[in-house]
Amino acid sequence: MIPEKKSVVIVEDDLRLQQHLIEIIKGANDITFLGAVSSAEEAELKIPALRPDVVLMDINLPGKSGIDCIRGLKKRLPKLEVVMLTAYEEEDNIFRALKEGASGYLIKSSNSNDILDAIRDVFAGESPFSGPIARKMAMYFREERQNQDERETLSPRETEVLKLLAAGYIHKEVADQLDITVPTVRTYVRRICYKLHVRSKVEAIIKYLS
């Protein structure tokens, strides 16, 4: 059986970086490049017609920001996966993007393999974060900023799973860390989402951290 190809659109106003990303994606035989645009306004016009699986989205675009662009795109394409690409690591931007529906967050200095892996991960239902950003999210847990009432609804094992997910681990890595299977991890994620009254793993992380 031939693996299903992921399709990608790039939203990036730095044309040199945009071309670099295009070359990275075109070099992957399991990913289809559908196009690139340079503004949120152009993205909102063209992406619904292209219907990609994944969008690589710059956060600082001329005019409307990448975060605002996510909001508009997700209304029209609810299943669209968005990975933010930015030179910044500020917590406010991280959580604003995730709250609007971003599936992952990478800094622009990420290497080619990390960018391609991020596309593959979100297509598989994971939430990729670059190392520095994953560490920032983990810090929120160490500072115990969780809501006490909601924390008590999760079992110790569910809490372990959620902490690892927030630290940037994908399902297989969580399974390896806790010596359980990947399907078991997915079952825990479903339970966590149910208990926290959210629709996705990313929303669960955000709600638990807030």
Note the pLDDT tens digit of each residue in 63-120.
899 999 998 998 899 889 999 888 766 667 777 787 788 888 888 888 898 899 888 8
Average pLDDT, integer, range 132-142: 57
- Which domains are delineated in the chain? 6-134 (3.40.50.2300), 144-209 (1.10.10.10)
Does an H or E element contain 9, and which? Answer: strand 6-11
Range from 60-64, 113-117, 127-131, 202-206 carrying the lowest mean pLDDT:
127-131
Please state, in angstroms and as integers, the Cα–Cα distance from residue 149 to each residue in 167, 177, 210, following that order: 22, 27, 12
140: tokens are 């929120």
Note the pLDDT tens digit of each residue in 12-64.
999 999 999 999 999 999 999 999 999 999 999 999 999 999 999 999 898 89
81: tokens are 């996966």
Please state, in angstroms and as integers, the Cα–Cα distance from residue 205 to each residue in 13, 36, 48, 65, 181, following that order: 30, 30, 28, 23, 21
117: tokens are 């892996």
In whole angstroms, what is the distance from residue 15 CA to residue 93 CA?
23
Query: Looking at the whole model, is its pTM more than 0.85?
Result: no
Residue identified by tokens 């690591």 is 89
Long-range interactions of 150-154: CB distance < 8 A, separation 24+:
150/196, 150/207, 150/208, 151/208, 153/195, 153/196, 154/192, 154/195, 154/196, 154/208
Does an H or E element contain 84, and which? Answer: strand 81-86
pLDDT value of position 33: 96
Q: Report residue 194's pLDDT band, with 50, 70 and 90 as the boundaries.
A: confident
